């Protein structure tokens, strides 16, 4: 069994609770206790593995979403920058077209 902090805390808590409710008594069959301990250890290992897999899935999803958000923002900035540049260029052209006839009338 893996010695993780969760397992250590669980078994410490389990032993304290078992003693407090009188489950662990003198004369209780040690084989039964050993079997129950092994069963619990295997169940805790399975739950720990499932928990780690789920955490890994969430971590991968968050990383993927973060990457997509960054790419999307870069794309949006480039698009808005291009539209702004085009609009500024057209505005300058319109201003020049308005000024041209006035300049010609002065000459």
Tens digit of each residue's pLDDT (9 = 90 or more) over 50-95 = 988 988 888 888 777 888 888 899 999 999 999 999 999 999 888 8
Please give the pLDDT value at position 74. Answer: 93
Rounded Cα distance between 74 and 77, Å, is: 5
Give the other-Cβ count within 10 Å of 90's Cβ: 10
DSSP assignment string, 26-79: TT--HHHHHHHHHHHHHHHHHHHHHHHHHHHHHHHHHHHHHHHHHHHHHHHHHH
User: Is 85 in contact with 77 (CB distance < 8 Å)?
Assistant: no
Instruction: Give the model's confidence band at 48: pLDDT under 50 very low, under 70 low, under 90 confident, else very high.
Output: confident
Rounded Cα distance between 48 and 104, Å, is: 84
Write down the pTM of the prediction.
0.40
């Amino acid at each position: 069994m893996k010695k993780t902090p969760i397992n250590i805390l669980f078994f410490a808590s389990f032993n304290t609770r078992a003693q407090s409710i009188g489950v662990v008594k003198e004369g209780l069959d040690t084989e039964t206790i050993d079997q129950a301990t092994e069963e619990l250890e295997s169940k805790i290992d399975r739950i720990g593995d499932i928990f780690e897999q789920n955490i890994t899935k969430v971590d991968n999803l968050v990383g993927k979403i973060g990457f997509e958000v960054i790419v999307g923002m870069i794309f949006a900035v480039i698009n808005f920058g291009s539209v702004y540049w085009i609009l500024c260029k057209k505005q300058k052209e319109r201003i020049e077209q308005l000024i041209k006839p006035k300049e010609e009338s002065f000459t």
